[in-house]
């Protein structure tokens, strides 16, 4: 029995350090400021005066102002009148949004029935007339839509269009409306309404913005590869959605759902703009009494800090289960937004590459906080450590020197003659996806509910490196030539880095795999890594392979492959299995052990 306990202790001694390593890695995220994604037009909501009334002067300031206690919205959506376009009802609110630095766009609903293509010319004149009127009133429209939800008109009570008609109107009249034309706005991001335009270069040239709604759209349908391929120079806007209309906007954590949706809209959807439904509503960012709601504060965690002209940058989108991170930059600002949907406190370290910012202002909305200032977070070697409140959204905002688009890549050093490298771990498979509950809908504002947030979990880890064979002393490599200064960057590229070469050791550690030289803020160099010369080994560590795959782990740390908690459990059970097999003759057949799978819900 003592031997049995010793064997169990040995198995735990093997497995628990691996678990510790995997947990540390799972709680870290990286922001790469030099990897630029879509530009940001802004965040905001809708004013539909015939259905929900206008904003008061005080509510306009609350919505579009960006002082303390204000939302900082920069996008306003209004409705195109069905009849005469010479109506001043929207002018005051539109002018307030524009004066605050925002944009205004309009969408037509039109009376019920089916669109007749023979009416296109008259219809284009109608849209153009409203554009001209608003411009004459000092409230110029940034864009105007072709049709609100043409694929939901028969249920909603407005005009229905076919996908072919949406294409034909853009093709033949998109340049006749007096401003940028927004495509027909599908109620559930039906790609069949957009594919014909994207596949027709003449029609695409007349489309200024692809607009869509997200009712009933799962997160894994937010991506649009065809737009990525053919939509260069165009913008994607999420022009209408609400996450829930059946509960009050101060209901917590229900209100947090908008922050999660905004994250997915920016990251998976790569939208340039996000527009909530009614700005003023019991379930909106401003309540019927004219006060900012919890849902409004969640939106403000994005809108107050991510301003028009910012860019989203590459970041670890889901560093751990239930936590979502996105990052943005301007020439002088860095913003990181982290949503924690878990009810428990979570700790995370965020490495922000490409900035000299030494500290960040921190703001939090949670059950007890409303965009509360939580002081400053100090960056140590570009990394910040955060403790996230349970069920919260946290924003970091820092100003300072931002690395530009990066210098030209260094040429890289020549390879060293060191020991052979270990084999890299395989990348993660992407893992199963989390499914969230469908959002509820109220009878007064009937919509098809959002089907819930679907979030990829961590994939399977890599298999780890094979220990090096004990190479000879590396012969030394050649230094890379260095990159030129980046566009907007403040420093030149640092050129190729030295490689690590083979090390001399008592057991011989393996050489690191070669990677290209890197300019500071620049793209990866084309060459291999130059040898640094040998370092004395300590009994032979496993090779360290640069670069982990998203949601997986292909790196080896401290001689052990980093693994997910599930794999560590499997390793532990495998070790115990060996013990049981050794005990079979004495103890009889052991009951098989089946590891409990991690929850996917």
Convert the pLDDT of each residue in 43-75 to its tens digit.
999 999 999 999 999 999 999 999 999 999 999
Pairing of strands 143-145, 159-160: unpaired
Q: Phi, psi at residue 499, to the nearest 5°?
A: -80, 170
* 394 shares its domain with 413: no
Burial bucket for residue 367 (CB in 10 Å: 0-12, 13-18, 19+): middle
Residue 230's pLDDT band, with cuts at 50, 70 and 90, is: very high
> Contact 551/456 with Cβ under 8 angstroms?
yes
* 103 shares its domain with 221: yes
Question: How high is the pLDDT of residue 65?
Answer: 98
* 321 shares its domain with 337: yes
Question: How high is the pLDDT of residue 145?
Answer: 98
Question: How high is the pLDDT of residue 401?
Answer: 87
Tokens of 446: 């009937």
418-428 burial code (b ≥16 CB/10 A, e <16): bbebbbbbbbb
Helix (H) or strand (E) holding 134, with range, is: helix 120-136
Q: Which of 4-13, 103-112, 311-320 has the lowest mean pLDDT?
A: 4-13
Taking the C-alpha atoms of 584, 590, 594 and 595 in order, what is their torsion angle to the nearest 10 degrees? -60
Q: Which of 38-52, 362-376, 456-470 has the lowest mean pLDDT?
A: 456-470
Domain ends where: 308, 328, 362?
Answer: 308
Q: Is the peptide bond before 312 cis (omega within 30 degrees of 0)?
A: no
The answer as to whether 199 is a domain residue is yes
Question: How high is the pLDDT of residue 106?
Answer: 98
How many domains, in total, are found in the chain? 3
The answer as to whether 445 is a domain residue is no
Q: Does the structure show a pLDDT above 50 at 382?
A: yes
Distance CA 229, CA 184 (A): 20
The answer as to whether 591 is a domain residue is yes
* 80 shares its domain with 109: yes
Q: Does the structure show a pLDDT above 80 at 330?
A: yes
Q: Which of 5-9, 240-244, 251-255 has the lowest mean pLDDT?
A: 5-9
Q: Give tens-digit pLDDT for 148-183.
A: 999 999 999 999 999 999 999 999 999 999 999 999
Average pLDDT, the chain: 75
Question: How high is the pLDDT of residue 541?
Answer: 35
CATH at residue 5: 2.60.40.1180
Q: Give tens-digit pLDDT for 497-550.
A: 333 333 333 333 333 333 333 333 333 333 333 333 333 333 333 333 333 333
The answer as to whether 397 is a domain residue is yes
Question: How high is the pLDDT of residue 477?
Answer: 36
* 82 shares its domain with 231: yes
* 61 shares its domain with 208: yes
Residue 402's pLDDT band, with cuts at 50, 70 and 90, is: confident
Tokens of 112: 């019920």
* 172 shares its domain with 226: yes
Question: How high is the pLDDT of residue 88?
Answer: 87
The answer as to whether 222 is a domain residue is yes
Domain ends where: 273, 292, 308?
Answer: 308
* 532 shares its domain with 601: no
Tokens of 110: 């039109």
Calculate mean pLDDT across residues 365-390. 97
Residues recognised as catalytic: 149, 240
Tokens of 370: 């409303």
Question: How high is the pLDDT of residue 6?
Answer: 47
The answer as to whether 295 is a domain residue is yes
Q: Give tens-digit pLDDT for 301-326.
A: 999 999 999 999 999 999 999 999 99
> Contact 376/404 with Cβ under 8 angstroms?
no
Residue ranges making up the domain that contains 580: 1-36+309-402+569-601
* 242 shares its domain with 318: no
CATH at residue 64: 3.20.20.80
Residue, of 568 and 140, whose pLDDT is higher: 140
* 76 shares its domain with 199: yes
Q: Give tens-digit pLDDT for 141-157.
A: 999 999 999 999 999 99
Residue 87's pLDDT band, with cuts at 50, 70 and 90, is: confident
Domain ends where: 277, 308, 339?
Answer: 308
Residue 344's pLDDT band, with cuts at 50, 70 and 90, is: very high
> Contact 477/527 with Cβ under 8 angstroms?
no
The DSSP symbol for 334 reads: E
Residue 403's pLDDT band, with cuts at 50, 70 and 90, is: low
Name 114's bridge partners: 160
Tokens of 514: 């070669």
* 89 shares its domain with 218: yes
* 162 shares its domain with 121: yes
Distance CA 33, CA 30 (A): 10
Matching residue, tokens 């829930």: 244
> Contact 340/323 with Cβ under 8 angstroms?
yes
> Contact 329/313 with Cβ under 8 angstroms?
yes
Q: Does the structure show a pLDDT above 60 at 116?
A: yes
Calculate mean pLDDT across residues 114-138. 97
Q: Does the structure show a pLDDT above 80 at 108?
A: yes
> Contact 323/2 with Cβ under 8 angstroms?
no
Residue, of 416 and 251, whose pLDDT is higher: 251
Q: Does the structure show a pLDDT above 70 at 381?
A: yes
Q: Give tens-digit pLDDT for 347-363.
A: 999 999 999 999 999 99
Q: Give tens-digit pLDDT for 270-286.
A: 999 999 999 999 999 99
């Amino acid at each position: 029995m003592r031997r049995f306990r010793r064997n169990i202790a040995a198995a735990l001694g093997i497995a628990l350090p691996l678990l510790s390593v995997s947990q540390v890695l799972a709680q870290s995220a990286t922001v790469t400021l030099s990897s630029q994604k879509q530009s940001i037009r802004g965040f905001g909501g809708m004013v539909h005066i015939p259905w929900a009334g206008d904003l008061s002067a005080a509510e306009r300031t609350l919505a579009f102002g960006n002082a303390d206690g204000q939302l900082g919205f920069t996008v306003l959506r209004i409705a195109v009148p069905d009849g005469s376009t010479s109506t001043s009802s929207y002018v005051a609110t539109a002018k307030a949004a524009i004066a605050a630095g925002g944009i205004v766009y309009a969408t037509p609903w039109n009376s019920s029935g089916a669109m007749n293509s023979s009416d296109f010319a008259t219809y284009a004149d109608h849209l153009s007339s409203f554009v001209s009127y608003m411009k004459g009133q000092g409230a110029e429209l940034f864009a105007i839509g072709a049709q609100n939800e043409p694929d939901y008109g028969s249920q909603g009570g407005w005009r229905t269009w076919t996908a072919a008609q949406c294409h034909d109107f853009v093709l033949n009249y998109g340049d006749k409306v007096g401003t940028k034309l927004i495509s027909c706005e599908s109620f559930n991001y039906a790609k069949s309404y957009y594919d014909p335009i994207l596949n027709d270069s003449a029609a695409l040239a007349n489309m200024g913005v692809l607009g869509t709604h997200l009712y009933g759209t799962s997160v894994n349908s937010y991506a649009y590869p065809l737009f990525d391929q053919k939509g260069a120079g165009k913008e994607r806007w999420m022009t209408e959605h609400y996450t829930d209309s059946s509960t009050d906007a101060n209901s917590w954590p229900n209100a947090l759902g908008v922050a999660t949706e905004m994250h997915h809209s920016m990251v998976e959807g790569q939208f340039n703009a996000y527009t909530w439904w009614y700005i003023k509503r019991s379930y909106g960012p401003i309540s019927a009494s004219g006060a900012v709601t919890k849902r409004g504060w969640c939106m403000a965690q994005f809108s107050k800090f991510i301003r028009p002209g910012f860019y989203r940058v590459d970041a670890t989108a889901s560093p751990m289960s239930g936590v979502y991170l996105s990052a943005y930059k301007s020439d002088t600002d860095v913003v990181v937004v982290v949503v924690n949907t878990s009810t428990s406190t979570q700790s995370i370290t965020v490495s922000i590459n490409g900035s000299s910012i030494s500290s960040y202002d921190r703001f939090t909305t949670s059950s007890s906080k409303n965009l509360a200032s939580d002081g400053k977070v100090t960056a140590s070697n570009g990394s910040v450590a955060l403790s996230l409140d349970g069920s919260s959204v946290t924003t970091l905002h820092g100003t300072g020197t931002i690395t530009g688009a990066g210098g030209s890549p260094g040429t890289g050093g020549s390879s060293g003659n060191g020991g052979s490298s270990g084999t890299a771990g395989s990348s993660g498979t992407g893992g199963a996806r989390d499914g969230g509950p469908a959002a509820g809908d109220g009878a007064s504002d009937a919509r098809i509910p959002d089907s819930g947030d679907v979030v990829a979990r961590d994939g399977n880890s890599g298999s780890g490196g094979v220990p090096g064979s004990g190479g000879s002393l590396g012969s030394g490599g050649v230094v890379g030539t260095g990159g030129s200064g980046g566009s907007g960057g403040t420093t030149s590229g640092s050129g190729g880095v030295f490689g690590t070469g083979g090390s001399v050791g008592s057991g011989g550690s393996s050489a690191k795999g070669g990677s290209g030289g890197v300019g500071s803020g620049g793209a990866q160099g084309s060459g291999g890594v130059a040898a640094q010369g040998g370092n004395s080994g300590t009994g032979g560590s496993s090779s360290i392979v640069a670069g982990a795959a998203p949601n997986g782990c292909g790196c080896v740390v401290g001689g052990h492959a980093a693994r997910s908690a599930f794999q560590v459990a499997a390793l532990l059970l495998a070790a115990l299995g060996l013990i049981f097999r050794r005990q079979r003759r004495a103890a009889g057949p052991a009951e098989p052990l089946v590891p409990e799978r991690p929850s996917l819900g």
